[in-house]
Amino acid sequence: MSVRLIAVDMDGTFLRDNKSYDNPRFARQYVQMQTQGIRFVVASGNQYYQLRSFFPDIHAEIAFVAENGACVINQQQPLFVAELPRQQWEQCLAILDRYEFIKTVICGFHSAYIRRPFDEAFFQHMSRFYHHLQVIDNICEIKDTVYKFALNIDDHHFESFMQHISDEMAGMLTPVSSGHGSADLMIPGIHKANGIGILQDLWGISDEETVAFGDGGNDHEMLDKAGWGFVMANAADIMRTPGRLAAGHNNQDGVLDMIDNILLSRAPFNK
């Protein structure tokens, strides 16, 4: 069966560690994907406004599964936006505020929010991932659809926090590691695979016609859903489960190499 959808995680997957990729090479590949009727989807934990900045020439044409599936946008039109009831997200935020070793970003559809007082270094770091990021004094200022929390967690507390916060949230939110001391608290059932499924239904594409690339814990569901789930060479060993395939290193353009194989019907796509 032919490939009709290619979904890529960004950090540690499509992007090199310096947040770049071979733009001219991908531009040539994108033209070939259009010719062959292959859809290209960006699937990341990052904000839509940040993700589209990597594709200035084509962002209006392609689809994005942003915020780990909480926001699905196709050709600049929102197809799905998850929502936490205000009372619920305020309750979750109160729980998070008990932990002194985490820093929290409140993530909404129109913007993300950091409260004063805040650490300037943290703000600058998160600005790389949230191009719409506001500083507020009080959560009463938020008039937005909130759908997740992005957390930066002290390395010494990461594992124990991830174990305990799941119990404390009591099913309201699910913790998902996004690598490098970061985690998202997501609405249960909201993940990248859910977003990919929305696009598959729109376009009439099956799992067997879908290829996905990822490297981190927030890619598990997407890699398992895709008929062709590729784990990057730079990914942790825990990502290499039975049934998953191997792609090259993100710093060596492993995704682009595999896209060439798809376009030219080379192994493993020559069956």
For residues 50 and 127, give the distance between their C-alpha atoms in angstroms, rounded to a whole number: 9
Q: What is the pLDDT of residue 71?
A: 97
- What class has domain 86-186? alpha beta
Fold adopted by 5-81+190-263: Rossmann fold (3.40.50)
Q: What is the pLDDT of residue 1?
A: 66
- Distant-in-sequence, close-in-space partners of 2: CB < 8 Å, separation ≥ 6: 36, 209
- Distant-in-sequence, close-in-space partners of 222: CB < 8 Å, separation ≥ 6: 7, 9, 43, 191, 192, 193, 196, 212, 214, 229
CATH 3.40.50.1000 location in the chain? 5-81+190-263
Give the model confidence (pLDDT) of 238-260 as tens digits.
999 999 999 999 999 999 999 99
CATH 3.30.1240.10 location in the chain? 86-186
Give catalytic residue positions: 9
Q: Where are the beta strands (DSSP E) in the chain?
A: 5-8, 39-43, 63-66, 71-74, 77-81, 102-108, 112-115, 133-136, 146-153, 174-179, 182-186, 210-214, 228-231, 245-246
Q: What is the pLDDT of residue 155?
A: 82
Give the model confidence (pLDDT) of 202-240 as tens digits.
999 999 999 999 999 899 999 999 999 999 999 999 999
Q: What DSSP string describes 131-173?
A: SSEEEES-GGG--S-EEEEEEEE-GGGHHHHHHHHHHHHTTS-
Confidence of residue 154 (pLDDT cuts 50, 70, 90): confident
Task: State what percent of residues in the chain have pLDDT above 70.
Answer: 99
Three-state secondary structure call for residue 30:
helix
Q: Report the pLDDT averaged over residues 171-176.
A: 91
Give the model confidence (pLDDT) of 46-90 as tens digits.
999 999 999 999 999 999 999 999 999 999 999 999 999 999 999
- Distant-in-sequence, close-in-space partners of 183: CB < 8 Å, separation ≥ 6: 150, 151, 153, 158, 162, 175, 176, 177
Q: Report the pLDDT averaged over residues 107-132.
A: 94
Work out the mean pLDDT of the chain and round it to a whole number.
Answer: 95
Confidence of residue 270 (pLDDT cuts 50, 70, 90): confident
Q: What is the pLDDT of residue 95?
A: 95
For residues 153 and 207, give the distance between their C-alpha atoms in angstroms, rounded to a whole number: 35
* Type of residue at 236: A
